[in-house]
Amino acid sequence: NAGVTQTPKFQVLKTGQSMTLQCAQDMNHEYMSWYRQDPGMGLRLIHYSVGAGITDQGEVPNGYNVSRSTTEDFPLRLLSAAPSQTSVYFCASSSAGESGANVLTFGAGSRLTVL
């Protein structure tokens, strides 16, 4: 059981370039989300989705786009990378059921550096 899979693990971009961070889960979870982790700031929610075709903004959505065309996949797109987007990005998922809704399963992270 793979859980939550993120690719790539590492990426270096130049300012202005675009890229997509991939996230896939095989647990049939309804909820998926993207967080960024910065030193001294914990994790901050970028975007989230409560099901296929439904997405919403989190705390720090500017500069990022998402879509949810399938239950399994939730890619995060950087349209024009900026140095402020240098961070570690985590994808997470959870079940909508009563016992699962509180618990997030995280991917291993994607470290992005924007020069």
Partner 1 sequence: GNSVTQMEGPVTLSEEAFLTINCTYTATGYPSLFWYVQYPGEGLQLLLKATKADDKGSNKGFEATYRKETTSFHLEKGSVQVSDSAVYFCALRGFQGAQKLVFGQGTRLTINP
Q: Shortest Cβ distance from residue 79 to partner 1 (Å)? A: 22
Q: Does 107 bind partner 1 (CB under 8 A)?
A: yes
Interface mask toward partner 1 for 2-41; x: CB under 8 A: --x--------------------------xxx-x----xx
The Cα 51–Cα 72 span in angstroms is 10
Q: How far apart are CA 68 and CA 115, in angstroms?
A: 29
User: Which bin fits 3, alpha (ψ -120 to 50), beta or left (φ > 0)?
Assistant: left
Taking only Cα atoms into account, the Rg of the chain, rounded to an integer number of angstroms, comes to 13
CB of 15 to partner 1, least distance (A): 27
- Rounded least distance, CB 50 to partner 1, Å: 7
